[in-house]
Amino acid sequence: MTPPAALTVYYDGACPLCSAEIRTYRRSRGAERLAFVNVSGDDAPATLGPDLSREAARARFHVRDEQGRLASGASGFIRLWRELPGWGWLASLASLPGMPILAETAYRGFLPLRPHLAKLFSRFSGTSCDTASRPPKA
C-alpha cells in the first residue's frame, strides 16, 4: 500500500510558465513524496475537495497537506518549499517576520501578469499557451 503524499500540489498544466515551474519542483530531491495534480485538461480530476474548485485551482496556486488543510498563494509555496529539502532555505526566508505578507502581496501582484508572462514564455520556449489561465476576479 502506498503511503499518502506529504503534500498534494495543484497546478495549472495549461500554463507553460506554471508547468515549467512544476517540472523544476518534480526534479527536486524529496519530490517523490508529493502528489502533483494538473487541474487543467480533460484528464483533470472532477473533484479537488469540497473547498477547492478547478476554476480556483487554475487561478491560484494551492497545496493540501496530509491532514487535508489547504494553503494557497505564497503560503502554499512556503509549504511546498518546506517539503523539498533543497528549497528549505527559501521557506525559512519567506517565513521570517513580515515576509509572508510581503510574499502574498507580491504573488497577488503577479497574478494579473501571469497570462501575459505565460504567453511570452510560450513564445520563447516554443510551448503552447492556453489563455484560459486567468487571475481570479477581485
pLDDT of the residue at 127: 60
* Residue 111 in grid coordinates: 497574478
CB atoms within 10 A of CB 111: 16
Q: What are the phi and psi torsion angles at 70 (to 5°)?
A: -100, 135
Give the model confidence (pLDDT) of 54-73 as tens digits: 989 999 999 999 999 999 99
User: What is the reported pTM?
Assistant: 0.83
Lowest mean pLDDT among 28-42, 45-59, 119-133: 119-133
Give the model confidence (pLDDT) of 66-121 as tens digits: 999 999 999 999 999 999 999 999 999 999 999 999 999 999 999 999 888 888 88
